[in-house]
Amino acid sequence: MKKIGIICKSGKPEPPEILREILPYMKEKGFELFIDEDAAEMLNMKGYSRAEIPDLVDAVIVLGGDGTMLSVARLVAHKDIPILGVNIGGLGFITEVNRSGMKEAIDKMLVEKCSVEERLMLQVHIHRHGEKISDYLVLNDVVINKGALARIIELETFIDHQYVTTYRSDGLIVSTPTGSTAYNLSAGGPIIYPTMNSVVITPICPHTLTNRPIVIGDGSMVEIILRSDSEDVFLTLDGQVGYSLRKGDLIEIGKSGHKTRLLVPCEKNYYNILRTKLRWGER
């Protein structure tokens, strides 16, 4: 891996500081670097648009938090490019390398000693009046929820074309294992080991308390039909892309042919990450 893209979280002071420290080191190691134009502008260097970086590089380093990682994962998925995430955000479940360990991780990346962890992605299709009107790729989750003033919504749900139930709730989360520690966890859903081949469906504040989260295989197709008259219902993808839904819209969610490929340090311990990030065992 010699051609490396670097994509940074916008509006943060840390990325330029890190780049000033790390760029000479990487050039000395023989890397050819392609820096996103926003970060490059702050350093008075030539930059590249995020859209063109996937076609130029063998791997991407992300300086940011999980939100930046999610957007980059969708950006590079079609090119099968591995990503190394350096956490300068908050929790950082996906961005697993800290700033202090960045040089060591880069050295391992150079000699290809980082393992590559493949993460499930979902393909989402929206149908209206029998026609597909949009489709999206997600790494974390697909969320249907109501606006602040809307009443409980009704979501008729099928798995592999078999009727499951009609959820009467504030919404519904369909999450990958990677996304299980995000909104799914806050809504009472289970934590799923990130490389498992599964999907979890979690209702948000269900009217019927016996409606509990359900874990299904990643080969299943989930179909959700909005049965409510409310116009204040939204589909949110990875917490970053929003889409307004109408009564009768069909949301079809299935396994994508693409995967997110994460470069993972050999010493990584997922359970240690859970203990640290979620503060397990603290009083």
**Which two three-digit tokens encode residue 259?**
């995967």
Closest CA to 100 of 23, 31, 22: 22
Distances (CA, A) of 179 to 31, 80, 158, 175, 277: 32, 20, 21, 5, 15
Query: Are the C-beta atoms of residues 67 and 34 closer than 8 Å to each other?
Result: no
Residue from 220, 195, 205, 138 nearest 171 by CA: 205
Q: Residues 36, 66, 141, 238: which is the catalytic one?
A: 66
Among 32, 31, 97, smallest CA distance to 62 is for 97
Tokens at residue 134, please? 């949009």
Count helices and strands (H / E) in the chain: 6, 17
Is 66 marked active-site? yes
273 by Cβ neighbours in 10 Å (0-12 / 13-18 / 19+) ranks as middle
- Judge residue 193's burial from the number of C-beta atoms within 10 Å of its C-beta, 0-12 exposed, 13-18 middle, 19 or more buried: exposed
Residues belonging to the active site: 66
